[in-house]
A and B are shown apart, each in its own frame.
Chain A
């Protein structure tokens, strides 16, 4: 009930709505819709790695792609960018798309690889290579920390760690800031920097919750465990399979292995293969966008390129692989859904000397996740059951924030609202509870944590107090209480400025302009006749003598009428009021010109009409019809006791005096009647008398 009330009390314009269309209480297909002040922003557009075809897309039917202004993609992973070509090519989305330079460069190759690798039948394929290429032209790039303003939405991005080019987006609409982290890691590793903590505080933080309340082991320990496991496997004569996602974390593992091999000459005759043509293609990207990496590696890059590996050879495919003796093979995809890593796994899994190291996060429903529970048997691609004998180790290098990092991150910014996304429901629930616990004893901070399901909106209200700046001549003197302020209000991107019209061009890119209108109409009657009728319209009629000898009139001080041969030319400065005056003048001109009755005025009467007398007559008619002929007494003017202009009435035994010249009404005994009559007289006067008469 309370919520209902609050909804009613806040106008819709204060409502900020965050709706996960994917990755709400799940991992994969990240896609979130942010709506505020009629601006719609989509954050990421991924696909679910465990589901193929259209079903793997986010719930885009809950959005209206046509109305989305902006799409921001945090990094190149399939679960964040995989749906983009489909969204760009197959929906009426017209907005703009931004990602960082490195993301765009890798996105192109990664998705092209995805199209090739995904062994889905063609009719199930979401998009083709051609779609991908076309999507490239629509994607714009943004540099880290560079601010952009699109359609009143201001946004910029921070380094997020995780993978090369990964960004966190800060979005500001009408002063309300939302930070979307995408996937991030607060730990500096071999080549990436830790996610930055923004200097400005967001009002809403949308953060990943992948690891829930888990805490990563320290980096050194993890690396040592990894290299030890690899050494163990090869030393016992086994083959070591490391299924990895082709780009991103793989580069980190390569750096570790290459470094380890360099320091251990005894391992030199054991080959390391990296089975990815994609990685080779993207090496140039890694070499180029080194500015997005940490300082250590940048320094190293100045001397030699650490991405030129000395001990790792590229493996083009199974057919090129000479499987004799121990070896280390890194192969994609990382969750062994299909492809090379799956093939190798199936051929190696029956030998107990072999080992597999799962090095990244695994989504439910994939083989990698399945083998972590150490089953006796696994089902091969062809449907056979094969015994699982090789050793399975899980060492996470996935560079997602763990509980410690996440909690630190929240603590550093203390945003009033935190929205958890990108995490399994249970993990997310635990994280929410843990974060809540952290702040329950803290009266200083109140942090609301939300963990919406897919398509369930989080609704937040941000009451906008609209502030405007008064500038220029208008601001020379501050007005006092109760005074009136008039000027032009300029609204741009939720900023308001109030200016005098003359300052418009100095303070904005706008400028004031003026229009003049000239209209010709045929007219054969004498000008004096027109003047007579115009006098009935307005008191303000001035005769002009034009320089070229022509005669003219000026009415309302705004409309000039010039008599030409068989023609009148009206001229005025255009604005709504003058246009109306002009129309009125025009109506009279047309009547005078066309109505034979109107021309029948005797020439001697073509002077200024006695409007005052007319008013008095009409007033008497009006009063008569208002109060009835017999119920009141009209004292005729001209009687001795009365001044000429005064009208005396007696209504319901009340004495009323009306002065028809000054339009003063006096009724000493009843103010209500007096008020009513004053109004009537004024209105009649305004109706009958020409415009501009005092």
Chain B
């Protein structure tokens, strides 16, 4: 039996690009993640496009753009039409990431790589599943099952296990995992042997070398560093800008900071703390409702004290710079995006960087060329030329032209609306003529309503302003109050704007009334702006990824038989691959060499292997004669048995007749014959089946080659004299320190002298160069007592 395993990186291999890989298992092709970089490089899309028709399923591991950014494009523009699998948080937070990303770009420039509709349609295709939930694939993927396993890093973060039904050749795809427990997440559970669904080493491990050559400071140290930086800056009356992502790592930082602020000793509660992105409110609401995906500590504190850590005390949620302007100075702001290429982090950076009192903290390394990376690579940089996009209102000639176009468009649109429901046309009639054309700013609007938008970008949008009007039922306050409020906001903002540089235009048109803004036609301009970087810039790692050293240990622990390394600096990748090869092939008892592949983009790795496996049936008489000994969580024994095909052939007949009973999808299941006293039907059926096949058995046992293939051989016990001898095996790996405990428990004096375990001063036990155990001693009674104890540590078969 051969099972085909082919792996093709489409992006993010031997470089630090976003993750996107294609994995073919037999006939079935998975797309493992589909990230997109900050620049929305169409080259990547071109690369996927070639294969798009082959893709049978998409597995997403994390909610950030690096892992699912291209999804809306693939679904919206390339017509990707296959099931997508992700955990519930990846689904929800992923949507937030993309909304924010879209909004960040759209606020300031024309953005046409995908629309919010594309995001919604793409996410509608996602099957939301839970960690450790095994999904059995159908049709083409018959026999394949996938299981998401907790991977840390971000909420809902997933490592995927892909298993072919024969249990042979399990593929594990685990990138960017974090084995360490954090404030809001448990460490990666992929490698716990405790409740793992299969305790066999995987055939193939696909992991990244992103952190291979990267040394992390201890978490405590980094936390302290962050605290010191914040306190220092804020005491000096400066603002702190922390560049974070939209809905992933930001949660960890938000909890950390809110805790710091709560701690009265820190003296921080006098200052303000805020979080800003286009979907802050939703991110926090979702986080609140996903407690069960977080760390044990959080779950316990919630069940015991009903403390939801995302019920922030100090953290203010902002959706635009107007909101933020209301937060008193000095403030510490968590702003997206992490790469500072777009979004509020970039806007705030431009505003704040020239003041030496301010501080900018970057929390993650992003791709080369991004503003964040530039700052990390050269923290002392003093002058930067930044590309600034902004949206400005149209004036003069342009405005006239726009008006003309709009009039034409309107005519056709009114017609379209009339075709729709009468409800909508009522609304239409009531509206002023100038209000109809929302399509220009359609998608810019929702976040201004406090992020309360969901899945309704196009259809419901044209009604939105009128819904506001309908709320008039309470004539006394509702309608006027927000207006008052808004005026306030404008006043505040204008102050702020004046304080900042005058070019800070994009935000000025924000706090206007919604309708007002809809009417203002805008265009996008791009300029290169030189900024002086006077503020302090620092990089504090809050990426939440396992470091290189730990990754090595983890790889050693899970003992994969093949490894594919992706995503990482070429040099680091090669080095990492060497260390893994060395590590995995040095262990005692390993029979075949472990291969490590480091493919480049579009380089196919073919790890197709001839795999040998067949099923046998164990006769009860055989099982009854076996004496098992225990080794770890398994029981083992030596088996000598005679292969009997006559039974097997009969059984295939039986299996066929019993297909209604046994499920054919699960070959690993035992074949069961319910034999209850009053269930004569089934018993009869079985009897019939057996008698039928018994007839066929009476014919001389001539077995054709093809029949052999399908027949399940049966194992029968051998007669005593037929039993061949065999080499005795000791199964287990003994740790001398464990054995010492055993000895001490038995009242035998035992201590280590120069690595040798000396027992009762008469017997020495040590590990020799090959890693095997040597036992040495005089002929004494102790010798035999200790030897017995030593033997008990092994399963001897």
A446 touches B682 (CB 8 A): yes
Residues of A near B197 (CB, < 8 A) are 147, 149
Contact A466/B643 with A105-B302, A488-B729, A513-B794 known, Cβ cut-off 8 Å: no
Q: Quick one: which of B616, B679, B722 contacts A498, CB cutoff 8 A?
A: B616
Q: Quick one: which of A470, A495, A516 contacts B614, CB cutoff 8 A?
A: A470
- Provide the bound-state CA to CA distance between A521 and B778, in Å: 6
B729 touches A512 (CB 8 A): yes
* Distance of A594 from chain B, by nearest CB (Å): 12
- Provide the bound-state CA to CA distance between A498 and B618, in Å: 11
- Provide the bound-state CA to CA distance between A574 and B678, in Å: 55
User: B167 contacts the other chain (Cβ, under 8 Å)?
Assistant: yes
B132 touches A147 (CB 8 A): yes
Contact A299/B726 with A416-B674, A486-B639 known, Cβ cut-off 8 Å: no
A465 touches B790 (CB 8 A): no
Total B residues in contact with A, Cβ cutoff 8 Å: 118
Residues of A near B406 (CB, < 8 A) are none
User: B561 contacts the other chain (Cβ, under 8 Å)?
Assistant: yes
User: B111 contacts the other chain (Cβ, under 8 Å)?
Assistant: no
* Distance of B319 from chain A, by nearest CB (Å): 15
State the majority secondary structure of interface residues on A: mixed
Within 8 A of A (CB), among B762-793: 768, 772-779, 783, 787, 790-791
B636 touches A465 (CB 8 A): no
A506 touches B592 (CB 8 A): yes
Interface centre among A148, A448, A466, A480 (most CB of B within 10 A): A466
Segment touching A, from B211-219, B283-291, B505-513: B283-291
Nearest chain-A residue to B619 (Cβ)? A466
Within 8 A of B (CB), among A275-308: 281, 284-285, 287-291, 299, 301-303
Segment touching A, from B379-387, B514-522, B598-606, B623-631: B623-631
Interface string of A451-471 (1 = CB under 8 A from B): 000000000111111111111
B618 touches A467 (CB 8 A): yes
Within 8 A of B (CB), among A321-349: none
Residues of A near B646 (CB, < 8 A) are 481
A481 touches B715 (CB 8 A): no
Residues of B near A145 (CB, < 8 A) are 129-130, 133
Q: Quick one: which of B670, B677, B734 contacts A467, CB cutoff 8 A?
A: B670
User: B615 contacts the other chain (Cβ, under 8 Å)?
Assistant: yes
Segment touching A, from B267-275, B303-311, B335-343, B464-472: B303-311
Interface centre among B196, B199, B718 (most CB of A within 10 A): B199
- Provide the bound-state CA to CA distance between A463 and B779, in Å: 52
Nearest chain-A residue to B701 (Cβ)? A481
A520 touches B777 (CB 8 A): yes
Residues of B near A475 (CB, < 8 A) are 612-614
Q: Quick one: which of B618, B628, B776 contacts A518, CB cutoff 8 A?
A: B776
User: B664 contacts the other chain (Cβ, under 8 Å)?
Assistant: no
Q: Quick one: which of A416, A502, A515 contacts B790, CB cutoff 8 A?
A: A515
- Provide the bound-state CA to CA distance between A284 and B308, in Å: 8
Nearest chain-B residue to A571 (Cβ)? B776
Nearest chain-B residue to A105 (Cβ)? B303
User: B586 contacts the other chain (Cβ, under 8 Å)?
Assistant: no
Interface string of B725-739 (1 = CB under 8 A from A): 011111111100000
* Distance of B3 from chain A, by nearest CB (Å): 13
A518 touches B774 (CB 8 A): yes
A101 touches B292 (CB 8 A): yes
Segment touching B, from A53-61, A136-144, A248-256, A541-549: A136-144
Residues of B near A141 (CB, < 8 A) are 292, 299
B682 touches A416 (CB 8 A): yes
- Provide the bound-state CA to CA distance between A624 and B274, in Å: 109
* Distance of B147 from chain A, by nearest CB (Å): 8
B671 touches A10 (CB 8 A): no
A519 touches B779 (CB 8 A): yes
User: A484 contacts the other chain (Cβ, under 8 Å)?
Assistant: yes
- Provide the bound-state CA to CA distance between A136 and B734, in Å: 36
Residues of A near B635 (CB, < 8 A) are 490-492
B670 touches A464 (CB 8 A): yes
- Provide the bound-state CA to CA distance between A495 and B787, in Å: 32
A460 touches B674 (CB 8 A): yes
Contact A288/B772 with A488-B636, A491-B636 known, Cβ cut-off 8 Å: no
A492 touches B637 (CB 8 A): no
* Distance of A552 from chain B, by nearest CB (Å): 16
Contact A108/B303 with A203-B672, A481-B646, A495-B668 known, Cβ cut-off 8 Å: yes
* Distance of A479 from chain B, by nearest CB (Å): 4
User: A640 contacts the other chain (Cβ, under 8 Å)?
Assistant: no
Within 8 A of B (CB), among A471-514: 471-476, 478-492, 494-496, 498, 501-514
B133 touches A156 (CB 8 A): yes
Within 8 A of B (CB), among A68-123: 101, 104-105, 108
Nearest chain-A residue to B196 (Cβ)? A149
Residues of A near B590 (CB, < 8 A) are 505-506
B642 touches A291 (CB 8 A): no
Q: Quick one: which of A446, A460, A465, A517 contacts B671, CB cutoff 8 A?
A: A465
A510 touches B640 (CB 8 A): no
Residues of A near B500 (CB, < 8 A) are none
Residues of A near B776 (CB, < 8 A) are 517-520
User: A395 contacts the other chain (Cβ, under 8 Å)?
Assistant: no
Contact A281/B677 with A147-B197, A481-B703, A520-B777 known, Cβ cut-off 8 Å: no
User: A684 contacts the other chain (Cβ, under 8 Å)?
Assistant: no
A136 touches B288 (CB 8 A): no
* Distance of A520 from chain B, by nearest CB (Å): 5
* Distance of A361 from chain B, by nearest CB (Å): 27
Contact A482/B777 with A141-B292, A465-B617, A498-B616 known, Cβ cut-off 8 Å: no
- Provide the bound-state CA to CA distance between A314 and B682, in Å: 59
Contact A483/B783 with A476-B612, A478-B708, A491-B628 known, Cβ cut-off 8 Å: no
- Provide the bound-state CA to CA distance between A337 and B727, in Å: 72
User: A146 contacts the other chain (Cβ, under 8 Å)?
Assistant: yes
Within 8 A of A (CB), among B422-457: 452, 454
Interface string of B297-331 (1 = CB under 8 A from A): 00110111010100000000000000000000000
Residues of A near B755 (CB, < 8 A) are none
A508 touches B200 (CB 8 A): yes
A478 touches B614 (CB 8 A): yes
- Provide the bound-state CA to CA distance between A301 and B92, in Å: 13
Within 8 A of B (CB), among A589-606: none
Residues of B near A10 (CB, < 8 A) are 675
A6 touches B675 (CB 8 A): yes
Within 8 A of B (CB), among A512-535: 512-521
* Distance of A613 from chain B, by nearest CB (Å): 31
Q: Quick one: which of A466, A479, A576 contacts B670, CB cutoff 8 A?
A: A466
B613 touches A469 (CB 8 A): yes
Interface string of B134-153 (1 = CB under 8 A from A): 10000000000001000000
A291 touches B302 (CB 8 A): no
A299 touches B132 (CB 8 A): no
B679 touches A288 (CB 8 A): no
Contact A519/B129 with A148-B195, A475-B614 known, Cβ cut-off 8 Å: no
Contact A303/B617 with A488-B639, A515-B790 known, Cβ cut-off 8 Å: no
- What are the 3 tightest A-B residue pairs by CB atom distance, in nearest-first order? A475-B612, A575-B728, A175-B670
Known: A104-B303, A492-B634, A494-B670. 4 other contacts (CB 8 A): A484-B724, A485-B616, A488-B638, A511-B733
| 24 residue pairs A–B, Cβ–Cβ below 8 Å | A10-B675, A101-B303, A105-B302, A148-B132, A149-B197, A284-B302, A288-B308, A302-B285, A302-B452, A468-B615, A470-B615, A480-B708, A481-B644, A481-B701, A485-B640, A488-B797, A491-B634, A492-B635, A495-B668, A506-B561, A510-B731, A515-B772, A516-B774, A520-B776
Q: Which residues does A use to contact B, with CB under 8 Å?
A: 2-3, 6-7, 10-11, 14, 101, 104-105, 108, 133, 136, 141, 143-150, 156, 174-176, 200-201, 203, 281, 284-285, 287-291, 299, 301-303, 416-417, 446, 448, 460-476, 478-492, 494-496, 498, 501-521, 574-577, 586
